Amino acid sequence: MDSQPKLKILFTKEEIEAAVKRLAAEIKEDYQSKYPLLIGVLKGSFMFMADLIRQLDFPLEVEFIRASSYGRGRESSGKIKVVQSLRSPVKGRDVLVIEDIVDTGLTTGFLLDYLRKKKPASLKLCALTDKPSRRQAPVTIDYLGFTVPNKFLVGYGLDLDEKFRNLPDICFLEEGS
Ligand code: 5GP
Ligand code: MG
């Protein structure tokens, strides 16, 4: 039996690059004089963050935060906690959270609440992908790359049991795989 899941490309690296450039232009417009604090949500956002900030030619700071929500496999446990917090103070900063994907919205919603309590001057969300069909908690995405169908995505930082993060394209797992 073939245990390798079958992958199909949803967005090529060229399409991702174009989306990242578009998002960077929008973010630059709003943040270029604000010295923002960009907070990437680990691990999935690391590649997006790296590509995005290379397109942002103005002063900014980078932080990462890590929440545990998804265990192994494809389903969220629904129980979320911060497992790696921030070193830079958030109070008074213009904070932009960088997410790989907003799925149920539970993780992002939890993290935005967590950060809001630290009293930033402003708090916005940039997500590379949005899977609105699965939403359980309302989340406003201020800067969005792609709306995606209800499929399990891998690549460009997104994993299945820690595999496939290194794929340059965003792919989905074919039904039954
Ligand atoms: P939530 O369901 O809380 O919005 O999403 C929590 C996390 O689940 C995301 O940040 C992401 O790490 C993971 N996740 C949600 N949908 C997918 C998906 O289609 N593929 C992968 N690889 N991870 C996902
Ligand atoms: Mg994530």
Q: What is the pLDDT along the chain (177 residues), one digit of tens a residue?
A: 456 789 999 999 999 999 999 999 999 999 999 999 999 999 999 999 999 999 999 999 999 999 986 555 566 666 788 887 888 899 999 999 999 999 999 999 999 999 999 999 999 999 999 999 999 999 999 999 999 999 999 999 999 999 999 999 999 998 776
Q: Is the CB of 130 under 6 A from ligand 1?
A: no
What's this model's pTM, rounded to 2 decimal places? Answer: 0.93
Residue nearest atom 5 in ligand 1 by C-alpha distance: 103
Q: Is the CB of 152 under 6 A from ligand 1?
A: yes
Q: Between the CA of residue 48 and those of 23, 26, 56, what are the distances in Å?
A: 11, 15, 13
From the CA of 69, give the closest atom in ligand 1: 6
Residues whose CB is less than 8 angstroms from the CB of residue 65 and which lie 6 or more positions away in sequence, other chains included:
39, 40, 41, 42, 82, 84, 85, 86, 111
